A = this chain, B = another copy of it.
Amino acid sequence: MTPDEYMQLALAQAQKAAEIDEIPVGCLIVNPAIGEVITSTHNQNQHTFDATAHAEILAIRQACEKLSQNRLWNMDIYVTLEPCAMCAAAISYSRIKNLYFGAYDEKGGAVVNGVKFYEQKTCHHKPNVYGGIMEKQCSEILKQFFQNKR
């Protein structure tokens, strides 16, 4: 599968989030060696009473648990929105190899926006970063969600 195809699956997760009134961000963790989707998640902030329940944190926690390891060497993560500081750091700590994200996030992003975590001396593992994958669709689903809120 191509990055666009994986991102399409992450978008389907974002859509699920929107349907239950969660901010529509979806995420996958993939083992690219065998093309296996290890986990697919979406934001769960409201429903879980958990301030840390961003899609990426949930995906990392579930993948670690599923694989019984606290490092995700050689895994890829796909997320429809540029990760925030919490998630960017968690991706680094889990040693994920490649980060693919969709929409850019000027307000809360921490990869190419904000603190640019991976460019800092206090970052000790930097994934390869591929931004703007299916950017238009990933951005559109968020815009729609917030427009409906007004």
Residues of A within 8 A of B (CB): 45-46, 48-53, 57, 60-61, 64-65, 67-72, 84-90, 93-95, 107-110, 113-115, 117, 120-124
Contacts and interface: CB of A to CB of B under 8 A. Distances in A.
B45 A51 contact: no
A19 B120 CA distance: 32
Contacts of A69: 49
How many copies of this protein are present in the complex?
A: 2
A84 B87 CA distance: 12
Contact of A122 (B48, B64, B71, B109): B109
Contacts of A124: 108
B89 A85 contact: yes
The winner among A51, A53, A86, A88 for most chain B CB atoms within 10 A is A51
A110 B53 CA distance: 20
B94 A51 contact: yes
Given A107-B122, A115-B115, A72 B85 contact: no
A86 to B, nearest CB: 4
Given A108-B122, A110-B122, A122-B107, A115 B49 contact: no
B51 A71 contact: yes
A110 B89 CA distance: 10
Contact of A52 (B51, B93, B117): B93
Contacts of A50: 60-61, 64-65, 70
